[in-house]
Amino acid sequence: MAEPTLEIEQIEILSFLQRHSPFKELSLPEQTLLATNTDVCYFKAGSKILEYNAPLDALYLMRSGLVETYRRSGTLYNRHSEGGIFAEQGLLRGRKVRFPAMAVEDSLVYLIPADVFDSVFESNENFADYVEVGDSERRKVSAPDRVPPSTSMTTRVSELISQPPVLLADDATIYEAATLMRDQSVSCLLITANDDKAPVTGLVTDRDLRNRVLAERVDPDTRIGNVTSSELVTVAANKYVFEAMLIMLRNNVHHLPVMEDGRPVGVIGIEDIIRHESNNSLYIVSSIFRQQSVSELAQLKPSVQACFVRMVNEDANSEMIGSAMATIGRSFKQRLLELAEQELGPPPVPYCFIALGSMARDEQMIVTDQDNALILYDNYSPKEHDDYFKALAKFVCNGLDACGYPYCTGNIMATNPKWRQPLAVWQRYFSDWITNPTAEKLLHCNIFFDIDAIRGEAGFVGRLTTSIVQMAPAHKLFLASMTRNALQRSPPLGFFQDFVMEEDGQHRNSLNLKRRGTAPFTDLVRVLALSKGIAERSTYGRLNAIAKANILPLGRAADFQDAFEVIAMTRIKHQASNLEQDLEPDNNVLPEKLSEFERKRLKAAFQVLANAQKFLKFHFQA
C-alpha cells in the first residue's frame, strides 16, 4: 500500500513531531498518521483554552507560545511551551478536562484527535508509558543531571551538524523537492546547478514552499530553481556558533549551509542553535522557572555545579562566571518567591525582596551562603502583616538552603526581624550608618552597600541607592570607618614575599582566597566607589568608574582589575577542581597544588592588593 502524500502543512507538522518526545520515538507510519490527522488552532494571550470537566476530544501539543494549566483550586499546575503536551490526563479519564488551561502568550497549538491518540496509545507501549507518567513525574525524570560542555563562544559550527546535506538539482520539480524533504525528514534542501557534484546555488526551505508555492498557487511541476532563495548565505565549518548566530541575524535567515573547502558538509538551522544554547546557564534559568516545588528546584543543584565547572573548563573569566552564577541564584529566589505567594496568597502590602553581597555584585561563586532581606511598604503593620512576611521569608530561606545556598551564619536573612522592615526604617538604618558611623557598627553592615532588587517594588532599592550615593561622599568619618574595616583583612604575604598560611582549623597551611583575597579587594573598591558617589554594584563596574573619576594614579585601576582577576580565577578553578574530584568545594588553596607560574602570579596579585590597601589608608587617613 502506498504511503499517503502529505500536504506542505502536514510535512511541517511531521517535522515538528520528529523533534519532540514522545513523538520522535514513534515509527514513521505512526508519525505520519498523527501528522495527517492533526489540526492547528490559534489562541490569543489571555484566552481560555480548556475549562474544567468540559468534554475533551483531542490531545493538545504546543507549537509555539506559552500555556498554563491549573488545578481545580486555581493554583498553577504546569507551564507548557514548544513541544509540551497537555489534556492527556483528561483523555485517559473519561475524556473530560482535568486541568483547565489558559494561553499566557499568543499560542499555536496542534490538536491530535482523541481517536488517533487512542490508536497510537494502544499500539505503542513507550508512548503509553510517557503519557501515563504525567507532568509532575516527567519533570522529575527530565531534570538535567549535567550540562554538556559547550558554549556559543567556544563551539565550532561543525559540531552542530547532525547529518549530511540533502542536495537536489535545480531542474527538479517542486513536487520532487517536497517529496524528498518528506522522505529525508528535513526542512531544507540545498539546490545545485546540475547534479549533486555541482556547486550549491541556493536553498529551499519548508517556509519557501509555504510562502512561494502554496500561497502563490504555483504549479507543483514548476522547476524548483524558480522558487529557490537567490542570495545564498553560508558559514564556514570552522567558525564559532556565535558567528553563525550573527550571520543569521544580519541576513534574516533561518538556515545556513555549512561549507568546508568550498563544498557543503551540512546545514544548520536556528533550531540547532537554540538547542545548543539550551546547554548553558540560560537553560538552567529556564529550568528553574519550570519547577513546581522546592523539591524539584533542589534537584537542579547538580546542574548548577556542572554549569560552573563547564564555564571554568572553557576559560570563561571571573566576571562572566560570577554574573552567570548570580543570575542563577536570583532565579532560584524569584521562583521560590512565586511559589511562596502561590501557597500564602498575595502579599498584604507591597514588598521588595533584596539580595546583598556577591549576588548583588554579580560575583557569586559556587561556594556561597544566602544574604537577603525584605523592604516593606511604609503602611506595613507588624501586628496585621508580619505573620505573612515571616512565613514568606521562612519559605524562601529554607528553600534556598535546600537548593544549595546555606543559611547565613551572620543571620543576615529576611527571617531575621531586623532585616524585615518598612522602607522608612531602612532609610533610617542607612542614614545612621553614614552620619553616625563607627567601625564596630559598620563591621557587619558593609554587605548592605551591595544591594539589588530580586522581586517586588524595585523602586525601593532605587530610592535607597540614590540616598547612599548622595550622602556617602560628604561624610569623611563614614569613609574612614569603612576604610578601617577594609584594612582588617590583609593579603597573605610575609616580609620576604612568601605566603602566610592559615594557622589553625581544618584548613591549616592553606590560603583562604576569599577572606584574604577577593573580600579585601571588594571592600577597598567599595570604599573608593562610595567616596565618589558611584552607583555601580560590581567590583569591575566600580573599578571602571573609578578609573574615569581619576581617583587612582594612572594605570593603577588596570592593575587592580588584573590582580583581582588572578585571585578570583585561582579561587574559582580550585572550587571547580573540588567538584570534579567529588569533594566539597571551599575557598582554601594549598600552594603546593599550584604551579610555579601560578604561585608567582598569585604573589604579584597579593602585592597589588597590599599596595592598594596602603593607598586606601593614606587617602582616607584611616
Residue 473, in any domain of the structure: no
Q: Tell me, what's the pLDDT at 477?
A: 92
Task: Show which of 468, 501, 536 is a domain's final residue.
Answer: 468
Q: Is pLDDT above 70 for 394?
A: yes
Cell of 437: 558611623
- 502 shares a domain with 375: no
Q: Tell me, what's the pLDDT at 505?
A: 65
Q: How many angstroms separate the CA atoms of 144 and 202, rounded?
A: 39
Q: How many angstroms separate the CA atoms of 234 and 523, rounded?
A: 50
| Residue 126 binned pLDDT confidence (cut-offs 50, 70, 90) | confident
| Residue 208 binned pLDDT confidence (cut-offs 50, 70, 90) | confident
pLDDT in tens, 552-580: 887 788 889 999 999 999 999 999 999 99
Mean pLDDT for 604-617 is 91
Q: How far is CA 30 from CA 22, 25, 44, in A?
A: 12, 10, 31
pLDDT in tens, 352-368: 999 999 999 999 999 88
Q: Which amino acid is at 621?
A: Q
- 308 shares a domain with 361: yes
Mean pLDDT for 223-244 is 82
Residues in a beta bridge with 372: 355
Considering the chain, what is the average pLDDT of its residues? 86
- Is residue 579 within 8 A of residue 617, CB to CB? The reply is no
Lowest mean pLDDT, pick from 14-23, 112-121, 453-462: 14-23
Q: Tell me, what's the pLDDT at 66?
A: 86
| Residue 146 binned pLDDT confidence (cut-offs 50, 70, 90) | very low
Task: Show which of 138, 171, 195 is a domain's final residue.
Answer: 138
Cell of 3: 504511503
- 259 shares a domain with 230: yes
Q: Tell me, what's the pLDDT at 170?
A: 86
Per DSSP bridges, beta strands 39-43 and 107-113 are antiparallel
Q: Quick one: which of 356, 481, 379 has its CA closest to 425?
A: 379
Please indicate whether residue 380 or residue 230 has the higher confidence score (pLDDT): 380
- 438 shares a domain with 582: no
Return the DSSP state at 445.
Answer: T
- Is residue 103 within 8 A of residue 49, CB to CB? The reply is yes
Q: How many domains does the chain have?
A: 4
Beta strand residue intervals within 170-214, DSSP E: 188-192, 200-205
- 440 shares a domain with 323: yes
Q: Quick one: which of 429, 407, 418 has its CA closest to 374?
A: 418
Q: How many angstroms separate the CA atoms of 525 and 613, rounded?
A: 10
The gap from C-alpha 572 to its chain's centroid, in whole angstroms, comes to 19
CB atoms within 10 A of CB 549: 15
Please indicate whether residue 297 or residue 592 has the higher confidence score (pLDDT): 297
- Is residue 189 within 8 A of residue 175, CB to CB? The reply is no
Q: Is pLDDT above 90 for 317?
A: no
Q: Tell me, what's the pLDDT at 186?
A: 87
411: left (phi over 0), alpha (psi -120 to 50) or beta: left
Q: Tell me, what's the pLDDT at 503?
A: 66
Residue 463, in any domain of the structure: yes
- Residue at grid coordinates 517556509: 207
Residue 474, in any domain of the structure: no
CB atoms within 10 A of CB 61: 26
CB atoms within 10 A of CB 303: 20
- 162 shares a domain with 122: no
Q: Tell me, what's the pLDDT at 41?
A: 92
Residues 6+ apart with CB under 8 A from 266: 158, 161, 162, 163, 164, 165, 237, 257, 258
What's the CATH number where 329 sits?
3.30.460.10
Residue 147, in any domain of the structure: no
Q: Tell me, what's the pLDDT at 290?
A: 85
pLDDT in tens, 422-439: 999 999 999 999 999 987
Q: Is pLDDT above 60 for 262?
A: yes
- Is residue 591 within 8 A of residue 499, CB to CB? The reply is yes
Q: Tell me, what's the pLDDT at 529?
A: 95
Q: Is pLDDT above 50 for 622?
A: yes
Residue 198, in any domain of the structure: yes
Cell of 67: 500555556
Q: Tell me, what's the pLDDT at 495?
A: 62
Q: Quick one: which of 450, 449, 452 has its CA closest to 478?
A: 449
Q: Is pLDDT above 90 for 338?
A: yes
Q: Percent of the chain at pLDDT above 90?
A: 49
Task: Show which of 107, 138, 169 is a domain's final residue.
Answer: 138
Q: Is pLDDT above 60 for 111?
A: yes
Residue 536, in any domain of the structure: yes
- 318 shares a domain with 255: no
Lowest mean pLDDT, pick from 52-56, 313-317, 480-484: 313-317
Mean pLDDT for 98-103 is 92
Q: Percent of the chain at pLDDT above 70?
A: 91
Q: Tell me, what's the pLDDT at 446?
A: 86
What's the CATH number where 185 sits?
3.10.580.10
What's the pTM value of the predicted model, to 2 decimals? 0.60
In DSSP notation, 109-154 reads EEEEEHHHHHHHHHH-HHHHHHHHH-HHHHHHHHS-S---S--TTT
What's the CATH number where 22 sits?
2.60.120.10
| Residue 517 binned pLDDT confidence (cut-offs 50, 70, 90) | very high
Q: How many angstroms separate the CA atoms of 21 and 163, rounded?
A: 20
Secondary structure of residue 454 in the 3-state scheme:
strand
With residue 428 as reference, give the H or E element that holds it: helix 423-435
Q: Tell me, what's the pLDDT at 147?
A: 38
Mean pLDDT for 395-405 is 96
Q: Is pLDDT above 70 for 506?
A: no
Please indicate whether residue 570 or residue 149 has the higher confidence score (pLDDT): 570
- 520 shares a domain with 443: no
Secondary structure of residue 187 in the 3-state scheme:
coil
- Is residue 114 within 8 A of residue 88, CB to CB? The reply is no
- 395 shares a domain with 456: yes
The gap from C-alpha 427 to its chain's centroid, in whole angstroms, comes to 33
Q: Is pLDDT above 60 for 142?
A: no
Cell of 161: 551538524
- 271 shares a domain with 292: no
Q: Is pLDDT above 50 for 402?
A: yes
Q: Is pLDDT above 50 for 199?
A: yes
| Residue 525 binned pLDDT confidence (cut-offs 50, 70, 90) | very high
- 174 shares a domain with 119: no
* Whole-angstrom Cα Rg for the chain: 29
Q: Is pLDDT above 50 for 140?
A: no
Mean pLDDT for 9-21 is 86
HSE value, Cβ hemisphere, 13 Å, CA-based, for 214? 13
Domain ranges, residue 592: 482-620
Return the DSSP state at 498.
Answer: -
Residue 329, in any domain of the structure: yes
- 248 shares a domain with 169: yes
Residue 537, in any domain of the structure: yes
Q: Tell me, what's the pLDDT at 135?
A: 54
